[in-house]
Amino acid sequence: MPTVVLMDVSLSMTRPVSLDGSEEFQRKNLAVHGLTMLFEHMAANYRLEFTALVAFSSLWEHLVPFTRDYNALQEALSNLEDYDKTCVESALHGVSNIVQQEWGSSCPCQVVLVTDGSLGIGKGSLRHSLHTLKQRGDDKKFPLPFPFPAKMFIMCVANAEELQMTDAMDNLEELLRLSGGEGQIFTMEGPLCLKSVQAMFGRLIDQAYSPFHAVLHCGNLSSDVQVFPRPEPVVVDDEVEPMPRTVSTDLEIVGFIEIGDISSPPVISRHLVLPIAVNKEVDEVGTGTTDEPEEEASASQMAGKSPNFCVLLHGSLKVEGMVALVQLGPDWYGMLYSQADSKKKSNLMMSLFEPGPEPLPWLGKISHLGPISEAAENPYGEDDSKSPFPVQPQIKRSYAQNVTVWIKASGLQTDVQKILRNARKLPEKTQTFYKELNRLRKAALAFGFWELLKGVAELLERECTMLPDSAHPDAAFQLSHAAQQLKLASTGDSQYAAFDHNIAPMHTDFSS
Amino acid sequence: MKMFAVSHKTAFVVDHCPYMAESSRQQVECDVLTKSRAQGVIPLAPVSKSLWTCAVECSMEYCRILYDVYPTNKLVNYIVSDSEFHILNSWRQDDQSTHELMSALAAVGPPNPREDPECCSILHGLVAAVESLCKITELQHEKRIALMDTAERVANRGRIICLTNAKSDTHVRMLEDCIQETILEQNKLAAGSDRLMAIQQCELVLVHIYPQGEDTLVSDRPKKEISPLLTSEVHSVRAGRHLATKLNVLVQQHFDLASTTITNIPMKEEQHANTSANYDVELLHHRDAHLEFFKSGDLHMAGSTSRDSGLKETVTLKWCTPRTNSIELHYCTGAYRISPTDVNSRPSSCLTNFLLNGRSVLLEQPRKSGSKVISHMLSSHGGEIFLHVLNSTRSTLEDPPSISEGCGGRVTDYRITDFGEFMRENRLAPVPESSPDPSGKLPAERAKAQLERHTRYWPMIISQTTIFNMQAVVPLANLIVKETLTEEDVLTCQKTVYNLVDMERKNDPLPISTVGSRGKGPKRDEQYRIMWNELETLVKTHAGATDRHQRVLDCIVACRSKPPEEEDRKKRGRKREDKEDRTEKNGSKEADDKSWQDSERLKALDKEEQESEVIKDSPDSPEPPNKKPRLASEEVQPPEKAKGPVSLLALWTNRITAANSRKHQEFAGRVNSVNNKAELYQHLKDENGMDVHENGKAAR
């Protein structure tokens, strides 16, 4: 889930923070200090996150495009300049554009808005934007909610009390609500100082950037893993089940399925599954900038050399072309598979299915997938020549069962012509003739279209009179028999007009 | 869409009054004469559908699309109204199919034009529809039970689609009022019943049908709120294709559907097999398949060009010729069932048959910029066709660290092939819900239990194991993990053990890893000790499961080679005798230990093997009475008894080794070794004049 840091560089951010005696700080310095802490945390523990930095005042500037290079972000942060007044709306437009350009509109993003809570004055101020919300044309729509799923974290370098004195807090709450409500407003507790800004960003880190650690189990084999990005809680139907579902920290493999059988299933999210060394508190992803590089290196070398289940699993999944079905919680499943990128690198990936007992119709209910050893006969065949998948639905779909639709005249004409064509080839086409005739009869009865039955009966009688002399005598018998049966059906007489009744060919014997 | 949105329950109420028997006045020429036959033949007069026929076939088309896209949990209750109401099916899932409905409709037949119009009214049906909406569905029942104390979260909403011929706007208002009243009445009734639920929201969609060429007496009206419980909208439509179009639009609105037109489908012409023309096919599906387009605004609507479908908008996607194979795992963010708009047309059925035969097609999104993006895939699974949405934007997971860079990434001898085999054995298969469930566990739980059994002892790397590198152990290793063993399985396991004993006797080499050890690795008898230990470890983890598992362990403990020891051999000797004499002096325990003293252990084992074979072959023969105690006594023996007289095998091995060593030049390292340790890369020390030991790294 990429992050956009939206940094307020308006003049109000340069307001000094009153501290007893010591060095003088601006609010901006505090904000930079907090962001530095965030970037350091990400570099160490959340390294795969893409982050972009945008500075804004009345204009906005894309300082650092999405990157995993936290030094670059850090550097940009230290070179911030001061500008004029705050204009949140235009900045949010900027964020919207940047994210959509890079990730499209389905990728969830996090927006970290860092401000001092003075939200501009006059036109372009947040107050003004929110006031005029309803009087806008389609071309000047407010950028929230974003077209992509977003979480907005508003970091205020100010106390809650300070914000409540003006309407700033109300406006920020409204902003959060407009963004979809997923997110939070953070304010500083106690005096504005380095310590309290650290505490505030610490809360953000806990809330949004703590790595997700889990244990992957396959029976008695297991491995400690980090799942990146963090799987987010999911709400399927807020009416029936308003509590969001979260992925369990114990990921249990249920069994294995061929890639061809699972066949490109729809997933709600994808995650890397990275094995981590058990004894280390920080995870493996965040090597790179550490205080003791030598010790670190040897520790990771050690970890590299002791066998890990993830690597074994990944290797075999890749070689066999299979996926592992993994349970993420009650009635929630996903799959583990090997994902290769272009450069020979490959990885263990986990995709999450939609929560529910039957996420993929072609597998049936997951809870009803059992071990093949229980079956009397191997469902895959002794030589792997067959497969129990896909599971067939009980009723065929319309396109798989030759339904009759006469909404367009052409549909009806085609069906009548089919009967006539076969009628002219009697007795060779007796079977097809009656099959088509019965199909038409059934539909005509269901639609209450008795007139058609009479019409087709007349057509068949006419065909009978037009039979060439060379025609087989059976043809005439069958045609008049069929015509008569249709006429009887068209009276609605229950004896002849039953839906499940079929007109059978007349029994004739010309062999003797 | 919420589970219990209005779309969960749809009641169709179709007017069956005498008036509906009138002709729609839209004529269909069904006698299309070919030129060659046209002479002298009077063509059949065109037929025309009645209003009833039009209503029924359009409502069936509505249901067809609905059932194609939502095979479950979107339910239809079909009601026909004349002098009374006829309910053609129920909310039950089993009743939800067009075939069921067609069969019931055939039984109803067309309206009787001679029936007294005064007795007939659509009202009977509408009242029945409201009553029906109060009836609880299987899903509502199931969820109410599942949610227990929060059962009130299960909502009851529904829609009534009324196909009728109304007399006037006042008539329509009267119908609305009547429904409103009925809802209030029924809700009171429902409050006191378990099988009924009060209606929280009802949407009335009234479609007024009138013949072609007539003026309508009822005016269109958009959705309006009659009461908090009831909304109503009126559509006034001419019978025939206008009605069909209207219901097609309605089914899309009611079930959040959208339309995609696949263009450039190459198809062989019937007449000219060598050429292929390009066709278009329109499909309906859930509109989320277009989500990305809507948001990005990159929508290429074919506009209202769709031949006769009126206002309908459709997104055009282009057929892509490089087809995809099923082995590829696409990153797919959604899969939605489709229904072709024109199911019977030749292009539609060509496309659907192509897909039903198991082939998949990638679809390309034409973009304004002209760049090509593969955005969707059509594929069938089990006779159902799905439109898969493929992710076409940049991935946030790009350029991840390779798995070889992380934990365990530097290990090279993982048992990849063995684990592959393990995965094949632990593949899953659907178990019918009706099948018996002896353990009281769901199949998926049983699958997990199997994984647990199969992994009780499972070394991950080749150098950590001996037994799994040996073909000879395979039969036992495969069987021992089973939940229960048959008598035959036990015999197979025992045979495996005897086979190992035999190998040991013949001094066959073992595939012991030499990683981490110098020279030839451990001695042969040490290798066998390792192998037996490992085998014992494996079997011990399962011994507790059943008596038969325990017997396999007993067999191993009994047979595994223990370094010879006087007393041990004495005991064994005695037992051998016991067994030999069993037939004659059964039960006599005291026997002298004469000749066995000198015989070698392996011979005894060999003997035991033969004996056991005898037992094996005649499973009916009585269990030797003294077998158990013997095993017990052996188990308490200390495992390590290295001292003792040199065996013949050892003597022989030493002799052969000595002889062999004379035939080749000894390794320089071994010659120069101190305490059997040789220093490597000594020349480095010489060249650099540095003590390699000092920096502590090269010494290894």
- C-alpha distance across the termini of chain B, in Å: 66
Rounded Cα–Cα distance for residues A435 and A426 (Å): 13
Q: Residues B228-250: pLDDT tens digits?
A: 999 999 999 999 889 999 999 99
Residue of A nearest to B330 (CA): A264
Backbone phi and psi for residue B390, each to the nearest 5 degrees, phi listed first? -100, 145
Q: Do B444 and A103 touch (CB under 8 A)?
A: no
Do the beta carbons of residue B237 and residue B49 sit within 8 Å? no
Taking CB atoms and an 8 Å cutoff, what residues of chain B touch A285? 401
> What share of residues in chain A are helix, strand, coil (percent, to 5)?
40, 20, 40
Alpha-carbon gap: B414 to the closest alpha carbon of chain A (Å): 6
pLDDT attached to residue B691: 46
Q: Residues A16-55: pLDDT tens digits?
A: 887 665 667 888 888 999 999 999 999 988 888 999 999 9
Does A280 lie at the interface with B, CB-CB under 8 angstroms? no
Strand (E) or helix (H) holding B340: strand B332-340
Does A348 lie at the interface with B, CB-CB under 8 angstroms? yes
CB contacts under 8 A, B 475-534 vs A, are: 482
Residue A293 has pLDDT above 70, yes or no: no
Alpha carbon distances (Å) from B33 to A408, A409, B38, B48, B408: 18, 15, 6, 18, 77
Alpha-carbon gap: B359 to the closest alpha carbon of chain A (Å): 12
| Residue B93 or B322, more confident | B93
Does A260 lie at the interface with B, CB-CB under 8 angstroms? yes
Does A466 lie at the interface with B, CB-CB under 8 angstroms? yes
pLDDT band with cut points at 50, 70 and 90 for residue A136: confident
Mutation target to probe the B interface, by most B beta carbons within 10 A, among A272, A285, A311, A367 is A311
Query: Could you report the predicted ipTM of this complex, rounded to two decimals?
Result: 0.89
In whole numbers, what is the pLDDT of chain B averaged over residues? 80
Taking CB atoms and an 8 Å cutoff, what residues of chain A touch B57? 405-407, 447
| Residue B434 or A292, more confident | B434
Q: Which of B53, B98, B408 sits opposite A306 (nearest CB)?
A: B408
Rounded Cα–Cα distance for residues A361 and B310 (Å): 34
Quickly count: other Cβ atoms within 10 Å of residue B546's Cβ.
15
| Residue A330 or B621, more confident | A330
Query: Following CA atoms A365, A371, A372, A373 in sequence, which dihedral angle do they give, to the nearest 10 degrees?
Result: -150
pLDDT attached to residue B523: 78
Helices (H), B335-396: 346-356
Highest mean pLDDT: which range of A83-87, B40-44, B124-128, B429-433: B124-128
Task: Count contacts between A and B (CB, < 8 Å).
Answer: 432
Residue of B nearest to A222 (CA): B455
Which distant-in-sequence residues (6+ apart) come within 8 Å of A435 by Cβ? none
pLDDT attached to residue B267: 77
Strand (E) or helix (H) holding B648: helix B648-663
pLDDT attached to residue B323: 67
CA B133 to chain centre: 34
Q: Which two tokens stand for residue B242?
A: 């206008």
Alpha-carbon gap: A233 to the closest alpha carbon of chain B (Å): 17
Taking CB atoms and an 8 Å cutoff, what residues of chain B touch A326? none
CB contacts under 8 A, B 69-88 vs A, are: 71
Residue of A nearest to B325 (CA): A260
Taking CB atoms and an 8 Å cutoff, what residues of chain B touch A141? none
Alpha-carbon gap: B68 to the closest alpha carbon of chain A (Å): 5
Does B19 lie at the interface with A, CB-CB under 8 angstroms? no
| Residue B147 or A353, more confident | A353
Q: Once rounded to an integer, what is the mean pLDDT over residues A434-449? A: 94
Q: Residues B578-621: pLDDT tens digits?
A: 444 444 444 433 434 433 444 444 444 444 444 444 333 344 44
pTM above 0.90, yes or no: no
Do the beta carbons of residue A215 and residue A223 sit within 8 Å? yes
Which one-letter amino acid corresponds to residue A461? E
| Residue B201 or A496, more confident | B201
DSSP letter assigned to residue B369: T
Q: Which two tokens stand for residue A466?
A: 């037009």
Closest CA to A401 of B459, B385, B292: B385
Does B450 lie at the interface with A, CB-CB under 8 angstroms? yes
Q: Which of A384, A405, A413 sits opposite B30 (nearest CB)?
A: A413
Residue B161 has pLDDT above 60, yes or no: yes
In whole numbers, what is the pLDDT of chain A averaged over residues? 87
Q: Once rounded to an integer, what is the mean pLDDT over residues A191-208? A: 90
Q: Do B425 and A372 touch (CB under 8 A)?
A: yes
Does B111 lie at the interface with A, CB-CB under 8 angstroms? yes
Q: Do A323 and B426 touch (CB under 8 A)?
A: no
Q: Do B102 and A446 touch (CB under 8 A)?
A: yes
pLDDT attached to residue A131: 83
Mutation target to probe the B interface, by most B beta carbons within 10 A, among A363, A398, A403, A404 is A398
Checking phi first, is residue B358 left (phi over 0); if not, alpha (psi -120 to 50) or beta?
A: left
Does B132 lie at the interface with A, CB-CB under 8 angstroms? no
DSSP letter assigned to residue A135: S
Q: Is A119 exposed, middle or buried (0-12, 13-18, 19+ CB in 10 A)?
A: buried
Backbone phi and psi for residue A267, each to the nearest 5 degrees, phi listed first? -130, 155
CB contacts under 8 A, A 418-447 vs B, are: 442-443, 445-447
**Could you give the percent of chain B with pLDDT greater than 70?**
76
pLDDT attached to residue A472: 87
pLDDT band with cut points at 50, 70 and 90 for residue B456: very high
- Beta strands A60-67 and A51-56: pairing type? antiparallel
Q: Do B382 and A414 touch (CB under 8 A)?
A: no
Residue B56 has pLDDT above 90, yes or no: yes
pLDDT attached to residue B519: 57
Q: Do A370 and B446 touch (CB under 8 A)?
A: yes
Q: Residues B532-581: pLDDT tens digits?
A: 999 999 999 999 989 999 999 999 998 875 655 544 544 555 555 444 44
Say which residue the tokens 């703590």 belong to: A210
Residue B495 has pLDDT above 80, yes or no: yes
CB contacts under 8 A, B 305-334 vs A, are: 326-334
pLDDT attached to residue B302: 42
Q: Once rounded to an integer, what is the mean pLDDT over residues A297-301? A: 62
pLDDT attached to residue B598: 40
pLDDT attached to residue A323: 95
pLDDT attached to residue A252: 95
Does A191 lie at the interface with B, CB-CB under 8 angstroms? no
Three-state DSSP at B80 gives strand
Taking CB atoms and an 8 Å cutoff, what residues of chain B touch A493? none
pLDDT attached to residue B152: 84
Residue of B nearest to A104 (CA): B393
Q: Which of A239, A411, A456 sits opposite B2 (nearest CB)?
A: A239
Rounded Cα–Cα distance for residues A132 and A139 (Å): 14
pLDDT attached to residue A105: 81
Does A288 lie at the interface with B, CB-CB under 8 angstroms? no
pLDDT attached to residue B518: 55
Mutation target to probe the A interface, by most A beta carbons within 10 A, among B381, B387, B464, B479 is B381
Q: Do A274 and B406 touch (CB under 8 A)?
A: yes
Q: Is B214 exposed, middle or buried (0-12, 13-18, 19+ CB in 10 A)?
A: exposed
Helices (H) and strands (E) counted in chain B, each on its own, are 21, 17
Does B379 lie at the interface with A, CB-CB under 8 angstroms? yes
Taking CB atoms and an 8 Å cutoff, what residues of chain B touch A344? 402
pLDDT attached to residue B627: 39
Q: Do A304 and B409 touch (CB under 8 A)?
A: yes
Q: Do A264 and B397 touch (CB under 8 A)?
A: no
**Could you tell me how many residues make up chain A?**
512
Say which residue the tokens 């110098």 belong to: B518
Q: Residues A249-263: pLDDT tens digits?
A: 999 999 999 998 998
Residue B327 has pLDDT above 60, yes or no: yes
Does B456 lie at the interface with A, CB-CB under 8 angstroms? yes
pLDDT attached to residue B619: 41
Least confident range from B12-26, B144-158, B309-323: namely B309-323
Ranges assigned E (strand) in A83-147: 109-115
Does B642 lie at the interface with A, CB-CB under 8 angstroms? no
| Residue A361 or B680, more confident | A361
**Could you give the percent of chain A with pLDDT greater than 90?**
49
Residue A305 has pLDDT above 70, yes or no: yes
Mutation target to probe the A interface, by most A beta carbons within 10 A, among B427, B437, B442, B450 is B427
Checking phi first, is residue A421 left (phi over 0); if not, alpha (psi -120 to 50) or beta?
A: alpha
Q: Do A371 and B443 touch (CB under 8 A)?
A: yes
Taking CB atoms and an 8 Å cutoff, what residues of chain A touch B343? 398-399, 403, 405
Does A11 lie at the interface with B, CB-CB under 8 angstroms? no
Q: Do B408 and A304 touch (CB under 8 A)?
A: yes
